[in-house]
Amino acid sequence: MAKRTLRSNLEPGTALWAGRRAQWRSLGISDEDMQKPKIAVINTSSELASCFTHLDGIAALAKQAIRAAGGLPFEVRTAAPSDFITSVGRGGAYILPSRDLIANDIEVQVEGARLDGMLCLASCDKTTPGQMMAAGRLNIPTIVAICGYQQSGQYKGEHIDIEEVFFRSSGVPLGKITVEELGAMADQAVRGPGVCAGMGTANSMHILCEALGMALPGSAPVLANSAKMKEYIRLCGERIVQMVWDDVKPRDIITKESVANATMVTLALSGSINCVKHLQATASEAGLDVDVYGLFADYADKIPLLAAVRPNGDELIEELEDAGGARAVMKRLERFMYKDARNVSGETVGEILGTAPIKNDGIVRSVDAPLSTRPTINIVRGSLLPGGGICRLGGAGERRLKMTGRANIFHSRDEALQAIKDGKVKAGDVVILRGLGVIGGPGMAMTSAVVFAIENAGLIDQVGVITEGQLSGLVNRGLVVGEASPEAAAGGPIAFVENGDAISIDIAAKRVDLDVPEALLAERRKKHPTFGAQNERGWLSVYQRTVRPVHKGAVLD
Q: 254 near 214, Cβ under 8 Å?
A: yes
Helix spans in 496-551 (H) = 518-525, 538-546
C-alpha dist (Å) from residue 474 to 45, 80, 199, 384, 508: 24, 21, 7, 25, 22
b/e map 400-420, b = 16+ CB within 10 Å: ebebebebbbbbbbeebbebb
The radius of gyration computed from the CA coordinates of the chain, to the nearest angstrom, equals 23
Which DSSP helix (H) or strand (E) runs through 76?
strand 72-77
The total number of residues written for the chain in this structure: 557
Task: Please state the three-class secondary structure of 119-171 as a single string.
Answer: EEEECCCCHHHHHHHHHHHHCCCEEEEECCECCEEEECCEEECHHHHHHHHCC
Angle ∠(550,553,557) on CA atoms, nearest 5: 95
Query: Among 169, 284, 472, 504, which one carries the catalytic annotation?
Result: 472
Give 255's contacts (C-beta < 8 A, 6+ positions apart): 288, 341, 342
Nearest to 84 by CA among 73, 93, 92, 76: 92
How far apart CA 299 and CA 335 sit, in angstroms, is 13
Told to judge if 8 belongs to the known catalytic residues of this protein, a careful annotator would answer: no
Greatest pairwise CA separation for the chain in angstroms: 75
CA 192 to chain CA mean position, Å:
21
Nearest to 69 by CA among 185, 240, 275, 286: 240
Helices 274-285 and 95-106 pack at an angle, to 10 degrees, of 20
CA 197 to chain CA mean position, Å:
14
Q: Which residues are catalytic?
A: 472
